[in-house]
Amino acid sequence: MPHPQSGAPPGSQPARPVTEAIRHGRIPLRVHPGWARAFPWVVQGTTVRTGGDGDFGLFTAAAAGAVMKRWESLATDTGCGSMVHARQVHGCSVTLHEATPPGLLLAPPCDGHATRRAGTLLAVSVADCVPVFVVAPRARAVMLLHAGWRGVAGGILEAGLAMLKRDFGTHAREAHMHMGPAICGRCYEVGREVHEALGLPRPASPGEPVDLRRLLVDRARAAGADPAHLTTSTFCTRCADAPFFSHRGGDAGRQIAVLGIAPDDSGSPGGEWLDDHRRERH
């Protein structure tokens, strides 16, 4: 169930809640079921903690061999021969990938990626921060952003939407955006300086919570996004039953959010998930 929203400007409205469904494979993914139906050419999802494991962190203390095997399995599952990742710096730089080599590409440090190249899988690591998935159907382009509070304050979403218009000819109103699994507006308690940096009123007491996903939705609407194209995950990474790693919860591990275009640019790989979903609906 969605949690109560906190730390949002008075009068703001939450986006439509979506509970990601499981897509089975070597690497289980939580995927947006509506997008799986509407955009069969898109590969999308967030990895989960599996038996206390499932760490995809390339810049953590995790065993490199085990982590790389997970990345390789993900490439096999999705059919994407190229994967793109980078060291994240909580900034607002977004990198456009027009040509990518086979294998895992580590781009220069940035907090967002975009492409219209089929067979390329964009990836950001998260463990409480918000993965922002963006699909531009008319341009057949995708964008994936890593949004912590510093990135939100610095304008990571606005930078991404500016790139969408400049490089893909797509206005925010045409884009579909999903704020993925992240810490919720009840669990994310922060200091007064964070509220101020995000443009929120200074709270009367320290430790008041902020809902970054709600703020991102508000910023998307301010940029001209169609409210009908905005959705928010019901998952909180911090709550006790979350199938995800949480930095606030003391986890050193990282899940990754992925977004790409299917290799043949026509249909999503992993049709077994779609078949399962159809069976569940009947």
Mean pLDDT of the chain: 88
Report the pLDDT value the prediction gives residue 170, as an integer from 0 to 100.
97
Please say if the pLDDT value at position 273 is more than 60: no
For 63-118, how does the pLDDT look when each residue is reduced to its tens digit (9 = 90+)?
A: 778 888 898 999 999 999 999 999 999 999 999 999 899 999 999 999 999 999 99
For 147-206, how does the pLDDT look when each residue is reduced to its tens digit (9 = 90+)?
A: 999 999 999 999 999 999 999 999 999 999 999 999 999 999 999 999 999 999 999 888
Average pLDDT, integer, range 128-142: 97
The b-or-e profile of 142-173 (16+ CB within 10 A means b, else e) is bbbbbbbbbbbbbebbbbbbebbbebbebbbe
The residue extents of the domains of the chain are: 16-264
Q: Is 114 exposed, middle or buried (0-12, 13-18, 19+ CB in 10 A)?
A: buried
Calpha distance 124→84 (Å, rounded): 9
Calpha distance 122→72 (Å, rounded): 14
Q: pTM score, two decimals?
A: 0.90
Quick one: CATH architecture of 16-264? 4-Layer Sandwich (3.60)
Report the pLDDT value the prediction gives residue 269, as an integer from 0 to 100.
44
